[in-house]
Structure 1
Amino acid sequence: MINELKIFLEKFNIKNILLAVSGGVDSMVMLDCFYKLSKEIDINIEIANFNHKTRDGQSDKDSIFVKNKAKEMGLIYHYAEGDMDKYAIDNKISSEEAGRLLRHKFFNQVLNSKKDSYYLALAHNLDDQVETILMRIIRGTGIDGLEAMDVYEYPLIRPLLNVTKQEILAYARDNSIEYVQDLSNFENIYLRNKIRNQLIPLLKEEYNPNIYDSILSLSDLAKSQNQTLNRYLNILKNKIVVSKNELIAELNINELKNISDYEKIEIIRSEINDLSSNYNFTKNHYNEILKIIDSNSSSIKKINGLAFYKSFKNLVIRIDQANELENEISIEILDHHQLIVNSYIIDLENITDDYKSINLKIRKRKNGDRIEINSKEKKLKDFLIDKKVDSYERDFLPIIEVDNEIIQVGDIYKKQNAYMKIKVRRANE
C-alpha cells in the first residue's frame, strides 16, 4: 500500500498534504502510510480534524484521540467543530450533507491559509465508492451521478480510493494501528449505513458476488458518456444561462422551453452543483422545478437550501439566505443611528427633538402596502414590478415606516419628509 502511495505522489509531484483525519480506521491507516513515507521522501504532512459534535460527546473523544496522535507524531494539528444536526435543520438539508459541507468549509479555510500549495487527502476507499454510487441511484440521479469519485481532483486527492475496506482493516491489524470505532456506522439510521450493512451484503449473496466490478464498470461507462454529453450541454448553456455568480444563476425560460425535459434537468442539475451541491436532489425535486418553468406563478420553491422561482423571463436559482427583516425592527430615534440590514446600510439622522417620539419601524414588505407617487397612491407590489425588482429580493428590501406610513423602500423609493434625514445604500457601494 505504501509503495503504491509513493508512486501516486511522484506521479502528480505532490509535496504538501493536509490529511483529513477523523480517527476511524480509514483515516488512521492513511495517516500511518503518509507518516512512514515522510521519513523516506521529501513531503510535508499536517492533520486536519473536524468535530461534528455528535454521538453524545463521543465525537469529542475522537478529536482528542486524533490530537494526541498528532502530538505523538510531531505533526501540526488543525481543529474545528460545528453542530452538524443543527446546521442540517437550519439549512433544510440532510445530516450527511450538513457534515460534508461543514468539514469541507473548514478544510478549505486551512488550505487557503497556506502560502505553499497544499493538497487535501481524503480517506475514501473502494467500498465508499460503490456505496456512493448506489446511494445516488436510490435517491434518483442523472448520468453524472453514476460517475465515481476521482483519485486526483485538485486540490483533493483520495489515495485509498482503489483499496477495499477489507485491505484497510488487514493493514491496520498487521501494523497495530490504533483507531476509534464509530458505533453509529453499524446503526441503520442513515441511508449510507443501510446500503453498507444491508443492501450490499444482500446483493453479493443473492445476486452477484462481483457486484463491485459491475457497479464500477457502469461508472466508467457513465464517465465516458458524460464527457460527450457535457460538451453538448455547454453549447446549450451558452444560450440558456443569462447570468451567474457564486450566489445566483438565471436561466432564460423561453430557451428552456425549446429543449427536452432531460436537457432541462441536466442543465439545472449542473447549475445547482455550481452554487451548492446536487447531492440531495431527487427526481421529484427536479420535477417540481420543471413545473415552475411552465407556471404563471411567481411563487418561490425552496429545496435543500436553494430557492427556485420565475422572475420576469428567467428561471432563477439562488442560495436561500436568512432575512433579517422576518421580525420588524423598532427604532428609538437618536441623534444618529446606523443599521446594516440585508446588506443595506441605513443612516438615520433626526432633524429636531420634536420628532424623537415618532413610531419608526423597519420591516419587509407585506400585502396591501402602498406608497405615494406624484400625489397618488400606488401598490408597492406594482411599483416593484415596474422597477423590475427580482421577486425574491423584494422581501429583502428594508421598508422604512413612520407612524404607519411608508417613507422609504430600500434605495429605490424615498418620500419627502420632515422627520429626519434618511440615507439607504447598499453595503458594497
Structure 2
Amino acid sequence: MIESAVKTIKEYNMIDKGDSIVVGVSGGPDSICLINLLSEFKEKYNLRLYVVHVNHMLRGIDADNDASFVEGVCRGMGIPFFLFKEDVKKYALEKGLSEEAAGREVRYKAFHEIFEKVNADKIAVAHNKNDVAETILLNILRGAGTAGLIGIKPVNGNIIRPLIRTTRDEILDYLKSKNIKFVVDATNKEDVYRRNRIRLKLIPFIEENFGIDIVENLYRTSQIILDDEDYLNEECEKIFKKISIFNEESVMLDIDEIKKLHDSLKKRLIRMAYKAIRGDTNELTYKHVEDALKLIDKQTSSKIDLPFEIEVIKSYNNLIFRKRTFIVPNQIEVKLKIPGITDAGCLGTYKAEIIDREAVEGFNLGKYHKLFDMDMLDGDITLRYRRSGDYIAPLNMKGTKTLKEYFIDEKVPKEMRDKIPLLAIDNCIVWIVGYRMSDKYKVRDGTKKVLSIQYIKDG
C-alpha cells in the first residue's frame, strides 16, 4: 500500500519538500491511514502537518468521542489539532442542501480556514479508489456528463489525495499490519444515504452477479476520461478568456461567439462561467446548464436563478452570470494623481504621465490607454462610477449625450453600467474606461502637453 501511495504522490507531484499540509481526519480508517502515512513521510519531506477534525453534530456523544480520539492521535504524534463543530442538519436547511452536500461544504470551509491561518501549501484528504467508484456510480444515477465520470481528481488545485489509487481493503490491511486503531462511524452501515446504498448494496450486487471488479474498472474509466477532460477544459479555457469579461462578481459571455461553438463547448462555457463566480460546480445540474443556454434565444432582460444565489441574465448580446447580492459602492471617488500611480481600489489602478506632443507617435493605444490634451483639462480628474447628470461628448461624434443615452446606443448591458469605471471632471466624462473617451479632451494639432492615462490593473 505504501508503494502505491508513494507512486501516486510522485506521479502527480503532490508533495514538495518543506510543504505545510492541512490534513482532514475524521478518525475513520481512511483518514487515520492518511495521517499515519504522511507522518511516515514527515522527516523525509520535512513536512509540517496540521490536522482538522469537523464534528457534524449529527451523532451526539459518538461524534464527541470521535473528536477526542483524533485529538489523542494528534497528541501522540505531536501534530497540531484543530476542532470545528457545525450543526450540519441546520446548515443544510438554511442553505437548501442535502446533508451530504452540506457536510462536504462545512468540511472544506474548515480546511481552508486553517489553510489560510497556518499559511499551508496543500490540503490532504483521504479519498480512495472505492470512493472514486462510488462517486462515479452516484453521478451516473444523478445523470452525469463526462466530468461526472471522473469521480474524484487526484489533485484539484491545492487539494491532494495520496490514497486515490488505494482500495479500502488495502487500507484496512495496512492498519491491521501496524496495529493502528481507528473509529467506525455506525451511520456508514445504514442505507439512509444514497452513497451508502451504492457501497453496501449496488457494488456487491454487481461484483457477485457479473463477476467483475467494478471498483477497478470504474477507476480505470475515470483515468481515461480525466485525460480527455483536461484537454477539453484547456481548449475551453482559451475560448472563455477570449469571449468573456469577468471579475469576482460577474461574468459576461458574448452570445454571438457562443452560437458559433459545438454544443459540448457551449455547456462547458456555462459551467466555467458559473465556476468563476461560485468557485465550484457543486449542485449545478444538467437542467441548470440547459436553462442557461435557452436564455440565448429569449428577449433581453430574461433571467434564471442558479444555486447559491447566482443568476444568469440575457442583456442585449450577452449572458451575464452574477451574484444576486452584488451592490456597487457608487459613492467612491478618488482623485487621479498627475503624474503618478493611482490605486483606486475596486475602480482599478491607473498610471498618468505628462509627455511632449512631439513624442506622440500614434493615438490608437487600445481600450485601456488614452491620450488627452493637458491644457484642455479644466479641473481635477476623479475616478468613480456613474451618477445622475453625467454626460459625454463621444470621440469623433457630434454633440453631447447623457451617459445613459451613450450606454443605450452602444448596447452596454444595463447590469454592467454601474460597474464601469469613469474618469470625470464634475459631471463631464473624460473617459469611459474600456469604451470611449471625450472628444472635448482629444489631442489636437495645437496640443503642447499630452496627458497619457493607462488602466493597468483591475480593482
- Rounded to whole Å, the distance in 2 between the matches of 1:6 and 1:215 is 22
Does residue 30 (structure 1) correspond to residue 34 (structure 2)? The answer is yes
C-alpha distance in structure 2 between counterparts of 1:304 and 1:52, whole Å: 23
Deviation at 1:26, TM superposition (A): 0.8
Alignment of 1:360-375 (within 5 A): none
Aligned residue for 2:247?
A: 245
In structure 2, C-alpha distance between the alignment counterparts of 1:150 and 1:70, rounded to whole Å: 27
Are positions 1:192 and 2:175 aligned together?
no
1:165 CA displacement: 0.6
Deviation at 1:249, TM superposition (A): 1.6
Aligned partners of 1:45 and 1:75 also within 8 Å: yes
Query: Which whole-Å CA distance do the structure 2 matches of 1:150 and 1:8 have between them?
Result: 12
2:179 to 176, 179, 189: 176
Secondary structure of 1:28's partner? helix
TM superposition shift of 1:37: 4.0
Correspondent of 1:126 among 102, 125, 129: 129
Tell me the alpha carbon deviations over residues 52-74 of structure 1, each in whole angstroms, 9 at most, x when there is no partner. Answer: 22234543332222123222332
1:225 is aligned to 2:266: no
Residue type of the partner of 1:274?
Answer: A
Matches of 1:9 and 1:220, distance apart in 2: 16
Q: How far is 1:247 from its partner?
A: 3.1
> Residue 291 of structure 2 corresponds to which residue in structure 1?
288
5+ residue gaps, structure 1, are 324-341, 347-371, 374-381, 395-428
Indicate conservation of the 8 Å contact 2:17/2:46, yes or no. Answer: no
Distance 1:345-1:63 versus aligned 2 partners, 3 A rule: farther
CA shift for structure 1 position 231: 4.0
The count of corresponding residues between Structure 1 and Structure 2 is: 342
Q: In structure 2, what residue type is equivalent to 1:34?
A: L
Cα displacement (A) at 1:219:
1.8
Q: Is the 8 A contact 2:16 2:45 kept in 1?
A: no
| 1-structure distance, mates of 2:87, 2:417 | 29
Residue 142 of structure 1 contacts residue 266 of structure 1 at CA under 8 Å; is this kept in 2?
no
TM-score, structure 2 as length reference: 0.65
Structure 1 residues 211 and 301, CA gap change in structure 2 (3 angstroms): same
Q: 1:290 to 1:4 in 2, by over 3 A?
A: closer
Alignment of 1:389-408 (within 5 A): 389-390=414-415
TM-score, with length taken from structure 1: 0.69
Instruction: Provide the residue aligned with 1:207 in structure 2.
Output: 210
AA partner of residue 185 (structure 1): N
Aligned residue in 2 for 1:359: none
User: Aligned match of 2:261 in 246, 259, 278?
Assistant: 259
Matches within 5 A, 1:323-402: 389-390=414-415
CA apart distance, 1:25: 1.3
Question: Is the partner of 2:165 in helix, strand or coil?
Answer: coil
State the identity as a percent: 29
2:73 matches 1:69: yes
Query: CA 1:222–1:310 in structure 2 vs 1: closer, same or farther (change >3 Å)?
Result: same
Confirm or deny: 8 A CA contact 1:152 1:158 kept in the other structure.
yes
Do the aligned residues in 2 keep the contact of 1:148 with 1:220 (CA within 8 Å)?
A: no
Distance 2:300 2:186 in 1: 48
Q: Which amino acid aligns with 1:46?
A: Y
Q: Counterparts of 2:90 and 2:173 in 1: how far apart (Å)? A: 36
Distance in 2 between residues matched to 1:228 and 1:44, nearest whole Å: 34
SS for the counterpart of 2:260 is coil
Question: For residues 27-52 of structure 1, what are the alpha-carbon distances to aligned partners after superposition, in whole Å with 9 as ceiling and x for unaligned?
Answer: 11222223344467633322111222
Gaps of 5+ in 2: 332-387, 390-403, 420-458
Change (3 A) 1:270 1:134: farther
What does 1:10-21 correspond to in 2, within 5 Å?
12-15=15-18, 16-21=20-25
**AA of the residue aligned to 1:93:** L
Structure 1 Cα separation of the partners of residues 322 and 303 of structure 2: 11
Q: Does 1:55 align with 2:55?
A: no
Which whole-Å CA distance do the structure 1 matches of 2:239 and 2:42 have between them? 48
Q: Match of 1:233, SS? A: helix
Give the corresponding residue for 2:97: 93
Greater mean alpha carbon deviation, residues 1-10 or residues 95-104: 1-10
- AA matched with 1:175: K
Worse-matched range after superposition: 195-204 or 208-217: 208-217
In structure 1, give the amino acid aligned to 2:319.
L
User: Secondary structure at the residue paired with 2:296?
Assistant: helix
C-alpha spacing 1:23/1:6, structure 2 compared with 1 (3 Å): same
Say if 1:122 and 1:156, in contact at 8 Å, map to a contact too.
yes
What is the CA-CA distance between 1:239 and the residue it aligns to?
3.9
Cα distance in 1 between the residues matched to 2:237 and 2:44: 45
- CA distance change for structure 1 residues 302 and 20 in 2, over 3 Å: closer, same or farther? same
Aligned-residue offset at 1:21: 0.6
In the alignment, the residues of structure 2 paired with residue 95 and residue 161 of structure 1 have an alpha-carbon distance, to the nearest angstrom, of 24
**SS of 2:415 mapped into structure 1:** coil
2:257 and 2:105 mapped to 1: Cα distance? 33
Counterparts in 2 of 1:293 and 1:187: CA distance versus 1, 3 Å: farther
Residue 230 of structure 1: how far off its partner (Å) = 2.8
Describe the superposition over 1:264-292 as per-residue Cα deviations: whole angstroms up to 9, x where unpaired: 11211222233332232332222222222
